[in-house]
């Protein structure tokens, strides 16, 4: 059995899927299984995925007859995986050939690691680089400052890094009960491994985050829901904090970091205020 499973959810991703899957097929770390879950695409996504499965037994394609929605399709891949190490891959992202090897090396080097994230390279539609979000390891001697540093600097694309699957499953069962929204679920999922200092990263693992021509999924929440999300996210953050086996004084000193984390990871305060004003005038 493979040592690492990569789950690729796709819906109408024919424009970018082949590049994404090819970057997985050519990884230098070979002991992998790639599961592509096609969510009843109306384009050639399923056929593209099947062409990889026909040529490489490490690929497996799940073809849904009806669209179950992006969220169930995304999380179903985690449930399909039978390995202890797992990662998601967006159908419009791709990576360098050493991506998995570099992240797996982080697990091999430190048994405490539960998430190893990449450097995220944001690529414009014309192929130019818009931004590079590197992993900056904490250097501070105090635990509060180290955790605070990672809270403020870990990039969102780390959710597409390499996870210890049992830990991720346990985190999701707990955090999804406390925070039942999809927006910012990735930051909520990463919070426990940040607090436990079991997350790291490698800037030798490059995740290229593409920008498609048009969004396939979009949502514009009313201000009331935005306020609810902010409150729920903040409460869930502090639920994670209070369960830590830390002295009370450390928890209290970390609280300002968590308040800032909650403000910037969901909907920012002033963005929510502006939408509220637009809806009432």
Q: What is the mean pLDDT of each run of 10 residues along the chain (281 residues)?
A: 94 96 98 98 97 98 96 95 97 97 98 98 92 95 96 96 97 90 93 98 96 56 88 95 96 96 86 80 63
Per-residue pLDDT at 219? 57
pTM: 0.92
pLDDT in tens, 54-66: 999 999 999 999 9
Tokens of 164: 């210890």
How does DSSP classify residue 139? -
User: Under the phi-then-psi rule, with left for phi > 0, alpha for psi from -120 to 50, and beta for the rest, what region is 127?
Assistant: left
Distance CA 195, CA 263 (A): 17
∠ CA 159-264-153, rounded to 5°: 55
Q: Which stretch of DSSP H or E encloses residue 85?
A: strand 85-88
Long-range contacts of range 44-48, CB-CB < 8 Å, 24 or more positions apart? Answer: 44/14, 45/10, 45/11, 45/12, 45/13, 45/14, 45/17, 45/91, 48/14, 48/17, 48/18, 48/21
119-137 burial string, b = 16+ CB within 10 Å, else e?
bbbbbeeeeeeeeebebee
Domain boundaries, the chain: 4-210, 223-280
For 4-210, give the CATH class: alpha beta
From CA 161, how far away is CA 104, in angstroms rounded?
A: 10
What's the pLDDT tens digit per position in 257-280? 999 999 999 888 768 888 778 878
Q: What is the pLDDT of residues 153-168, one digit of tens each?
A: 999 999 999 999 999 9
């Amino acid at each position: 059995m493979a040592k690492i499973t990569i789950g690729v959810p796709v819906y109408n991703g024919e424009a970018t899927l082949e590049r994404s899957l090819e970057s997985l097929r050519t990884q230098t770390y070979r002991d992998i299984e790639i599961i592509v879950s096609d969510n009843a695409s109306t384009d050639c996504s399923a056929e593209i995925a099947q062409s990889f499965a026909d040529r490489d037994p490490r690929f497996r394609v799940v073809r849904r007859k009806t669209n179950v929605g992006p969220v169930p399709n995304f999380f179903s891949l985690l449930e399909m995986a039978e390995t202890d190490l797992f990662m998601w891959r967006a159908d419009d992202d791709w990576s360098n050939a050493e991506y998995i090897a570099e992240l797996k090396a982080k697990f091999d080097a430190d048994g405490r690691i539960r998430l190893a994230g990449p450097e995220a390279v944001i690529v414009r539609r014309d192929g130019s680089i818009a931004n590079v979000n590197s992993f900056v390891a904490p250097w501070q001697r105090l635990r509060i400052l180290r955790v605070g540093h990672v809270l403020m600097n870990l990039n969102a694309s780390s959710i597409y890094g390499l996870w210890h699957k049992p830990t991720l499953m346990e985190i999701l069962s707990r955090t999804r009960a406390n925070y039942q929204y999809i927006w910012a679920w990735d930051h909520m999922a990463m919070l426990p491994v940040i607090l436990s200092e079991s997350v790291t990263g490698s800037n030798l693992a490059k995740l290229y985050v593409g920008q498609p021509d048009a969004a396939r999924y979009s949502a514009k929440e009313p201000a009331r829901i935005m306020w609810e999300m902010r409150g729920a996210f903040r409460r869930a953050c502090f639920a994670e904090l209070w369960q830590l086996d830390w002295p009370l004084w450390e928890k209290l000193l970390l609280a300002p970091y968590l308040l800032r984390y909650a403000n910037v990871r969901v909907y920012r305060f002033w963005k929510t205020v502006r939408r509220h004003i637009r809806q009432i005038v």
